Amino acid sequence: MKIYNKYIAAIALSLVLASCKAPMATVIQDEVKNNIPENFTQNEQQDVNNNSGTTPWRQFFTDPNLVSLIETSLKNNQELMITLQEIEIAKSGVVAKKGKLSPTVRAGLGAGVEKVGRYTSTGAGDASTEIEPGREMPDPLGNFEGGLMANWEIDIWKKLRTEKEAAVAHYLSTVEGKNFVLSNLIEEVADNYYELLALDNQMDIIQQYIKLQTRALEIAKIQKQAAAATELAVKKFEAELAKSKATEYTIRQQITEKENQINALCGRYPQPIVRTKESFMSTIPQTVYTGIPSQLLANRPDIKQAELELKSAKLDVEAARKEFYPSLEISATLGLEAFKPSYLVKLPESIATSLVGELAGPLINKSAIKANFQTADAKQIQALYEYDKTILNAYLDISNLMSKVKNIDQYYQLKSQETQALDQSIDIANQLFKNSRADYLEVLLNQRDALDAKMELIEAKQKQLSTVVDIYKGLGGGWK
């Protein structure tokens, strides 16, 4: 009999060891992070001590109306509120994983009745058992119980701790996700605010142009009466005036939509946007310092979010791999049990206890465990690609925006020169037209070119300001 017991123990040990075999996770290397360039441009050195991404947004934006809009959006924006709830969900996940490390204790009450066959081992035993002298076991037999039950999975492979660490990493990634939403929200409010100011200034330009066209039409009519111009010139000026008035209504609609877009970001119903349009064209863009590319890893919340998601995915693979190992569970009960409620208070006869330890591992048909492991392994590779893509896109964004700042500045300067020259040409053309030394087409073309140049100059100013905001957000600014 002892030899059989040894064989059984050896077989059981062999089966447990066989169940411990687990596949290896894919080894991943982060080449994009390790090979990030030292500078954003090859021919320029960046100042490591100056980085605008670390500047708080209240110091970066100086327009009090814009600051007020940003404050409102941070309080009421629905997307931000949704993100905050995602953080709460992730926090609950951490609490749930942490709870698995502790024993589970339950309290319960139960009642039941059982009738077994007379000619069974249980029935025969009950029939021959006397509870007290002269009193046999009742038939059917009742059962009443109450007590405490505890279960505890011993974390011998640190699987539960790994799952908790993965949940913590995911929770921290949702916090960084909230910071990324903050950064995007501030950028979007600022961009729309500058676009609204640009539309206001374009409205002023088109209204000035309408007055100019009205005067030109009056001159054309006078010259027609004096036989110095034809009906064709009058109709051309009338058509140009109607076109300008139509453009005015188009801009009015764009202003309304832009105001509502800002109100939507602020989480409120339509209302006027307080702003000062007069100083828009004289606004000097903030000077932005980019620092060095490696600082993006610490400043940009989307990169930190992707890094934490990668860490969480790696821990998930580790936890899934440990599912192949045996688990040790301990269960215990302590309570009172009797076939009659009045007997429950008879101690110690009604006391019932149990203590069971179980070591078990998967042996046959591991397809579900393998599938979970393969899924987790694929997700960690996917998370690495997502992390690398985020770093690469961040670097390219800053590189493109740095080039855009320089080019848009040059574009703005040249447009300013063009606008000044065309303003002078309008006065010259109008004077020549009054003296019948230029025809109406020259006047119209000069006025159209001047209008287009002024509109483009306003757009250039808006792009100047928005590009600086985009770089600020691209460097990781806005969430601090």
pLDDT by residue for the chain (480 residues), tens digit each? 555 555 454 455 555 555 557 788 888 777 888 889 988 876 666 677 789 999 999 999 999 999 999 999 999 999 999 999 999 999 999 999 999 899 999 999 888 887 877 777 777 666 666 666 656 667 677 888 889 999 999 998 999 999 999 999 999 999 999 999 999 999 999 999 999 999 999 999 999 999 988 988 888 888 788 877 788 878 988 998 999 999 999 999 999 999 999 999 999 999 999 999 999 999 999 889 999 999 999 999 999 999 999 999 999 999 999 999 998 999 999 999 888 888 888 888 889 999 998 888 887 778 899 999 999 999 999 999 999 999 999 999 999 999 999 999 999 999 999 999 988 887 787 777 666 666 667 777 788 888 999 999 999 999 999 999 999 999 999 888
SS3 9: helix
Asked whether the beta carbons of 104 and 329 are under 8 A apart, the reply is no
- C-alpha 168/C-alpha 336 separation (Å) is 41
**pLDDT value at position 114?**
79
Q: What's the rounded Cα separation, in Å, for the pair 453 and 459? A: 10
DSSP 51-72: BGGGS-HHHH---HHHHHHHHH
Give the pLDDT score at 45: 62
Residue 119: exposed, middle, or buried by beta-carbon count in 10 A (0-12, 13-18, 19+)? exposed
In angstroms and rounded to an integer, the radius of gyration of the C-alpha atoms of the chain is: 39
* Residue (of 67, 94, 184, 72) closest to 473 by Cα position: 184
CA dist., res. 187 & res. 179, Å (int): 12
Q: What pLDDT is attached to residue 43? A: 63
pTM (predicted TM-score): 0.85
Closest of 354, 357, 356, 355 to residue 327, by C-alpha: 357
Per-residue pLDDT at 377: 94
What are the domain boundaries of the chain? Answer: 1-102+156-325+365-475
Q: Whole-angstrom distance between the N-terminal and C-terminal Cα of the chain?
A: 74
**Buried b / exposed e across 77-111, counting CB within 10 Å, b at 16+?**
beebeebeebbeebeebbeebeeeeeeeeeeeeee
* Count of positions (residues) in the chain: 480
1-102+156-325+365-475 placed in CATH 1.20.1600.10? yes
Predicted local distance difference test score (pLDDT) of residue 23: 84
